[in-house]
Structure 1
């Protein structure tokens, strides 16, 4: 994965992906199970990632695996803020901008030191409640961060 999506078909695909991964609930135990699954996947592949799960402003899970750094925590915060602001995955938000021939960094009018529309943060939407939190992965190329979060959510929801 190297080319960033930038077309309306990619926007539709990423939107459908989000809709398919809606949760029935998000408890502390669910966050632990999802986070543990992400850690297991990353360890199996020796991936140098940091993982963060939040419900509202509360951090329910965080792990930093070997090879990750404090910079990954900063990326987590920047990507997570995009999801919190737009209600969509950080990759989808960036893709929407690119599909319109725009740059998120210059055209969103948001501070790029605080917001990054790079793949890796995914909204945790609960049926009947909307987006209630985020799951974020940082440490890989952005498409791979996104793919790891989606893989874990797909397994977690049993929809894969």
Structure 2
């Protein structure tokens, strides 16, 4: 992908992160969003692992048939990216690609612990910042990211 396309993609991701914020976030909301992610993945015939955590506490975790322990490991590593940079894992990976570098080169952090691949989205509270993560693993990275964004957008518009 060319640099102008990556810059456009980065701007789009920033806009998503700014728009998709919560004024409050409860355990019940995590359950609702988790089930919406599940239903959306199932509807498209996809197999994903879904994880929603707030301040280090897992509020929702489900591994659909067809996923493996590797998906949970990807979630852990993607969540580490969000928790370190307070940006979506897709943003961080796209930004690194636009700069022609890697996490190991730029930040001296291991890909064993961090995965700058799409799917982990910051759970952002208005006035408080990032308080957790909403993450999907099992699809190509852009599709993981887009699934989370689509479900969050629909959920926030309905509430």
Instruction: Calculate the TM-score normalised by the size of structure 2.
Output: 0.93
The alpha carbon displacement at 1:28 in A equals: 0.4
Deviations along 1:85-109, one digit per CA (max 9) or x if unpaired, are 0000000011111112212343331
Q: Residues of 2 paired with 1:142 and 1:105: CA distance?
A: 19
Q: Which moved more, 1:94-103 or 1:16-25?
A: 94-103
**How much is the aligned-residue C-alpha RMSD, in angstroms?**
1.6
Which runs of structure 1 show a deviation greater than 4 angstroms over 4 or more consecutive aligned residues?
3-6
The alpha carbon displacement at 1:16 in A equals: 0.7
CA 122–4 in structure 1, closer or farther in 2 if over 3 Å, else same: farther
Q: Residues of 1 paired with 2:101 and 2:6: CA distance?
A: 12
Higher helix share: 2
The equivalent residue for 1:9 is 8
Q: SS of 2:131's equivalent?
A: strand
* Residue 29 of structure 2 corresponds to residue 57 of structure 1: no
* Residue 95 of structure 2 corresponds to residue 96 of structure 1: yes
Q: Residues of 1 paired with 2:70 and 2:64: CA distance?
A: 13
Unaligned stretches of 5+ in structure 1? none
Q: Residues of 2 paired with 1:155 and 1:136: CA distance?
A: 16
Instruction: Calculate the TM-score normalised by the size of structure 1.
Output: 0.93
The equivalent residue for 1:135 is 134
**C-alpha contact 1:4 1:143 (8 A) present in aligned 2:** no
Number of equivalent positions: 157
